[in-house]
């Protein structure tokens, strides 16, 4: 019988965020400025420096209309912002509860966020990340974890009797929990927020961009530490899991991962454009969404070599592309 691979996890990873475009787009309103764009590639295998702790995984699913795309004639989603935030926190509570129970079953001791060196969240916008970490601290208070100090207990005591639904809507609890969790947030979460705060909501890539952020900034001291991850997708499905970090071995080492990520260089390579230009681009997208028989302006001045770009769509909705090279473009049609 084949033996089970050990230390399975992330051997290598890279991230790409376009220098001048946004893929996660929203209609006019408060959600629009949160949109971003990125892609993550990861090599998964044994003997990895970022090792998956499969014993502790906790998941939660529910059927809700918090974020969805019912209008096929529009690129934009329908977003119920208040419901979506409540769903996120509800899923976080559920996943954390399962995660803690599994940890306690295997390790024979209570788990709290103090047992995580870093906590990484799916990051639609940073304020939700702050609320989420504070929510975990509130959960530790309700579970009577010894890591919650006396002063924090005193400040959270007025909210001990709230129902789950009441706690999701309580602004006073939100404020109090963020206040008592602030110092832990600075050490355990802040280092994970670099890319999400700079780039915006990347959907699936948001969680792993946050992981890339902490690898970028802390790779020299990560060995032997635990990173707890919370993944969330509207609709909804969510999972909390964790990684245990080690140095790895060349070429699959933390240092090599950080060097390949090269986050600082990629952030600096982006192009700043005024908001008016962004709005103008979205109006053009709205006009052309589902359209046919048009030619793009084919301005490639801000594209890097190797980028595929749309040149035109014909009367039969067939799409044609070129590839930007060193002065040479290669024609493509429908991806072939």
Check residues 18 and 16 and name the one with the higher pLDDT: 16
pLDDT band at 305; cut points 50, 70, 90: confident
Mean per-residue pLDDT for 289-305? 89
Mean per-residue pLDDT for 276-284? 90
* Among the ranges given (137-146, 195-204, 226-235, 266-275), the one the predictor scored with the smallest mean pLDDT: 266-275
Annotated binding-site members: 84, 127, 131
Mean per-residue pLDDT for 92-97? 99
Annotated binding-site members for CoA: 84, 127, 131
Mean per-residue pLDDT for 73-91? 94
- For residue 201 the two structure tokens come to 């909501």
Q: How wide is the angle at C-alpha 244 spanned by C-alphas 243 and 246, nearest 5°?
A: 130
Maximum mean pLDDT: which of 25-34, 115-124, 286-295, 320-329: 115-124
* Catalytic annotation present for 271: no
- Please check the confidence at residue 131 and state whether its pLDDT lies above 90: yes
pLDDT band at 1; cut points 50, 70, 90: very low
> What is the full DSSP assignment across 92-134?
HHHHHHHHHHHHHHHHSS---GGG-SEEEE--SSHHHHHHHHH
Mean per-residue pLDDT for 194-223? 96
pLDDT tens by residue, 253-264: 999 999 999 999
Residue in 60, 122, 216, 219 annotated catalytic: 122
Domains of the chain: 9-268 (3.40.47.10), 292-336 (no CATH)
């Amino acid at each position: 019988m084949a033996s089970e691979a050990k230390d399975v996890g992330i051997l290598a990873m890279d991230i790409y965020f376009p220098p001048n475009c946004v893929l996660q787009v929203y209609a006019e309103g408060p959600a629009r400025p949160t949109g971003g764009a990125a892609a993550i590639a990861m090599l998964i295998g044994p003997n990895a420096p970022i090792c998956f702790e499969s014993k502790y995984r906790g998941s939660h699913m529910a059927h809700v209309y918090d974020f969805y795309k019912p209008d096929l004639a529009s690129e934009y989603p329908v977003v119920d912002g208040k419901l979506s935030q409540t769903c996120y926190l509800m899923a976080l509570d559920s996943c954390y509860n399962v995660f803690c129970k599994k940890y306690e079953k295997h390790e024979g001791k209570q788990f709290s966020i103090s047992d995580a060196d870093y906590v990484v969240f799916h990051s639609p916008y940073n304020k939700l990340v702050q609320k989420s970490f504070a929510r975990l601290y509130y959960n530790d208070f309700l579970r009577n974890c010894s890591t919650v100090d006396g002063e924090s207990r005193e400040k959270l005591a007025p909210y001990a009797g709230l129902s789950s639904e009441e706690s999701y809507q309580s602004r006073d609890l939100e404020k109090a929990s963020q206040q008592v969790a602030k110092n832990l947030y600075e050490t355990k979460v802040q280092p994970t927020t670099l890319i999400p705060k700079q780039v915006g909501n990347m959907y699936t890539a948001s969680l792993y961009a946050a992981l890339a952020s902490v690898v970028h900034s802390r790779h020299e001291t990560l060995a032997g530490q635990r990173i707890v991850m919370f993944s969330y997708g509207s609709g909804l499905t969510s999972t909390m899991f964790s990684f245990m970090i080690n140095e790895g071995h060349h070429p699959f080492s933390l240092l090599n991962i950080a060097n390949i990520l090269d986050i600082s260089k990629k952030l600096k390579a982006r192009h700043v454009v005024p908001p008016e230009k962004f709005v103008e681009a979205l109006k053009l997208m709205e006009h052309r969404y589902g359209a046919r028989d048009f030619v793009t302006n084919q301005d490639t001045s801000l594209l890097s070599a190797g980028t595929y770009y749309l040149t035109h769509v014909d009367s039969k909705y067939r799409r044609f592309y070129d590839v930007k090279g060193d002065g040479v473009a290669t024609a493509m049609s429908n991806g072939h």
